[in-house]
Structure 1
C-alpha cells in the first residue's frame, strides 16, 4: 500500500493580500514558514520515499522546510504547478472584476462554466489532465511506503477530483485547503481511498504582518 500525503505551500505575501498567484510567485510569510516547520514536526517520524514538489518557489521552499534535516530526495514535477491564471495573476478580486466579472464568478461558483480563454489562462480540464499524468507516474515509481506531495490549492482540488471522481461542477465542495494543511490518500491494488482532507491540527493560528 502507498500512503500519499499532500500539502499546500505555506502562506505567502500575495495570499495575505488576496492576490491570485497561479504560475507567478511571492515570498512565504513568517506565518507560512512557521506552519511549514510545524508540518515537518508533525510528519517527522514518517519515513518518506520521496518528496514531490511543484517547481514554483513557494512550494519548493515549503518542501525544504517540511523536509528539515532529513535526507529525503526532493523531486520537482511541472505537473504539480498551480493552475495558470493568465492575465489574472498578481491581481486582487476588484481588479479582475473590472474586465472579467462573469468568468471570475464562474471560476469560484460554477467551475463547469468557466472559460479560461479570454484571460489567457488554463482550463480545469487541462489542469486535471496534467495532474492525473503526474499522479499516475508517481504511483508507478512508488509501489508502497510513503510519499509527500507539496503543491497548490487549486491543484489539490484537481488531485481530489481525480482520486474521488468528483465532477467539475462540484470542484470546490469540501473543506477549504489552507496553507500547509494535510490531506492523506491511500493507493492499494488499483484503488484510491481518501482518508483526510485539509487537516490543520498542526497549524499555528498567528497573524502575518
Structure 2
C-alpha cells in the first residue's frame, strides 16, 4: 500500500503567519490553485479513499484535489492540527511578547512544552500515531490512500516513521502547502518513497 500525504493549501492566516490549530482560516486563491494543481499532478493515481482532517481548510483542499472523481472522503478526527489553545490566532511577534519563555520552550525544547489550553507534543504524537496505524490496519488490501492534513500533523507522522524523539521535532523539514509525501507500507513496515515534493506548485 502507498500512502500519499499532503498539507492543506495556503490560508489567510498562513499569509499572516498566525497560529491556526483547531481554528479555521479559509484558503487563499493561491491555496485553491495549488490544491487544483496537486489534483492534476495526481490524476493518474486511483485513490481507494481520501482521509481528511475535519478542519475546513483541509477538507476543502481534499475536495479540490479530488476534482470530478467520486473518491470517498473520510473524516478522521485524529488528523486535526495540533491544538494550540490560547495561542490560536496569534502571530510570532505577539507570542514572543506575551509568552516569551513558553514560546522559546515550544521551539527549542518541545518535549517540555506545556500548552495554555492545548496539547502537549506527547499528546499530539499519540493521537497522530493512532490515526496513522488505524488507516494502515483498516486498509490492508488497499493500493493507494491519500491523507490531507496539516503541517504539524505531517511532521508528527514523519517523526514516527523516522523514529525521532520529540526533542528533534522541529529539525524535521518544513511542510509546505500541498507538498506531497509518499510512504510505502507492508506489514506495518513503513518506507519513505518521496518527501515534501512541490514540483507541481506553480
Q: TM-score range by the shorter chain?
A: over 0.9
Superposition TM-score, scaled by structure 2 size: 0.96
Q: How far is the alpha carbon of 1:147 from its aligned partner? A: 0.2
Question: What does 1:13-28 correspond to in 2, within 5 Å?
Answer: 13-28=12-27
Instruction: Find the counterpart in structure 2 of residue 138 from structure 1.
Output: 135
Residue 151 (str. 1) matches residue 157 (str. 2): no
Instruction: Find the counterpart in structure 2 of residue 203 from structure 1.
Output: 201
Instruction: Find the counterpart in structure 1 of residue 37 from structure 2.
Output: 38
Q: How far is the alpha carbon of 1:189 from its aligned partner? A: 2.1
Which range moved further: 93-102 or 43-52?
A: 93-102
Q: How far is the alpha carbon of 1:177 from its aligned partner? A: 0.4
> How big is the alpha-carbon RMSD for the aligned residues of Structure 1 and Structure 2?
1.0
Instruction: Find the counterpart in structure 1 of residue 107 from structure 2.
Output: 108
- Name structure 1 gaps, 5 residues minimum: 205-209
CA distance in 2, matches of 1:164, 1:173: 12
CA distance in 1, matches of 2:81, 2:172: 19
- Runs of 4 or more off by more than 3 Å in structure 1? none
Match of 1:125 among 98, 102, 122: 122
Q: How far is the alpha carbon of 1:110 from its aligned partner? A: 2.0
- Name structure 2 gaps, 5 residues minimum: none
Q: Aligned with 1:171: secondary structure?
A: helix
CA distance in 2, matches of 1:154, 1:174: 10
Which string of whole-angstrom CA distances, capped at 9 and with x for unpartnered residues, describes residues 167-195 of structure 1? 11111223210000011111112311112
Which string of whole-angstrom CA distances, capped at 9 and with x for unpartnered residues, describes residues 20-49 of structure 1? 100001110000000000000010000101
CA distance in 1, matches of 2:192, 2:164: 12
Q: Aligned with 2:4: secondary structure?
A: strand
Would you say how many aligned residue pairs link Structure 1 and Structure 2?
Answer: 201
Instruction: Find the counterpart in structure 1 of residue 59 from structure 2.
Output: 60
Superposition TM-score, scaled by structure 1 size: 0.93
Q: Aligned with 1:90: secondary structure?
A: coil
